[in-house]
Amino acid sequence: MQAVPLPALAGWTWVRDGWSLFRTQPLAFFSWAMFVSLMLMIATITPPIGPLFFIVLMPTATLLSLSAGRHATEGRKILLGTWIEPLKKPLVFRRLLGMGSLYVLFCLLLGLAVFMPFSSEVTEALKDIEKTNDLIPLMEAVRTPMAIFAMLYVVMAAIFWFAPALVGWHGIRITQALFFSWIACWRNKWAFLVYGLCWLAVFLGIDTLISMLVLIGLAPTTAASIQIPINVVATSVLYCSFYTSYVAVFDSNVAVSNDDTNSV
């Protein structure tokens, strides 16, 4: 399997094609994004088990999103049973859970490696909060490690980006999938940069629009009620663009094949 190197503007094309894919079955994609958002909300209020459980299931959710995109592209209606169909292949769900567990481990190790050198500064800032209730020293203390973590997390995200599809659709080992995902993302690093900037602009644009509505007199609660479905639609298109990016980077015939499990 060869990852196709694409020009930088391909990143914008993935977003545009994701929107086109979303419009084929908007209710199904919207419902899926709502479900994932609900699971994320539950995870955030049930620490530490909730967030860990959510992260472990992220590769599974990614494969389900990709498979829904494939169904829509082939003109098949996305029904309730469609969502679990990719998990029926032998060992797929187990490998995805293993990948999710590995993702959690990588996040923990990355966080420890980044924050340990700054632990004394963070500890002192936490002590200052108890005395002064001032969050500024803490924000300054974590600014540098957070920036380092964000940069390294981009690398880790590239390693896992295409891996769920490679495991779920082609039955290859987790280590192989992670390696091929990294190579594919590296070959298309400029396209992914444009892709990320496009989505940053979309979500910042939504926030700016809602803020402007509040400034001209709209009640904050009403503005929030408007923003929620808009964010869900944008997230739905984001999930659709996962599939369009995969098909663009890898050969489309390979990406949609159910039977070619040993082609890598």
The rounded distance, in Å, linking the Cα atoms of 251 and 245 is 11
Res 132 pLDDT > 80: no
Specify the pLDDT at position 1. Answer: 66
What is the mean pLDDT of the segment spanning 170-198? Answer: 95
Closest by Cα among 30, 52, 59 to 232? 30
Residue 144 lies in a domain: yes
For the chain, the domain total comes to 1
The rounded distance, in Å, linking the Cα atoms of 68 and 85 is 10
Residue 174 lies in a domain: yes
Residue 264 lies in a domain: no
Specify the pLDDT at position 261. Answer: 35
Residue 100 lies in a domain: yes
The rounded distance, in Å, linking the Cα atoms of 99 and 173 is 10
Range(s) of the domain holding residue 54:
10-255
Residue 163 lies in a domain: yes
- The string of DSSP letters for 80-96 reads GGGGGGGGGSTTHHHHH
What is the mean pLDDT of the segment spanning 254-259? Answer: 38
What is the mean pLDDT of the segment spanning 9-27? Answer: 97
Specify the pLDDT at position 251. Answer: 64
Please state which of the ranges 88-92, 129-133, 148-152 shows the lowest mean pLDDT: 129-133
Please state which of the ranges 111-115, 189-193, 195-199, 250-254 shows the lowest mean pLDDT: 250-254
What is the mean pLDDT of the segment spanning 186-191? Answer: 96
The rounded distance, in Å, linking the Cα atoms of 118 and 171 is 41
Res 78 pLDDT > 70: yes
Specify the pLDDT at position 83. Answer: 79
Q: Give tens-digit pLDDT for 83-123.
A: 788 888 888 999 999 999 999 999 999 989 988 888 888 78
Residue 78 lies in a domain: yes
Specify the pLDDT at position 254. Answer: 40
Specify the pLDDT at position 118. Answer: 84
pLDDT above 90 covers a percentage of the chain that reads 72
Res 219 pLDDT > 70: yes
User: What average pLDDT does the chain have?
Assistant: 89
In which region does residue 133 sit, left (phi positive, over 0), alpha (psi from -120 to 50) or beta (all else)? left
Reduced to 3 states (helix: H, G, I; strand: E, B; else coil), residue 241 is helix
The rounded distance, in Å, linking the Cα atoms of 170 and 177 is 9
Res 45 pLDDT > 70: yes
The residue with tokens 């998990």 is 87
Res 19 pLDDT > 90: yes
**In terms of C-beta density within 10 A (0-12 exposed, 13-18 middle, 19 or more buried), how is residue 64 classed?**
buried
Which runs of E-coded beta strand occur in 138-234?
Answer: none
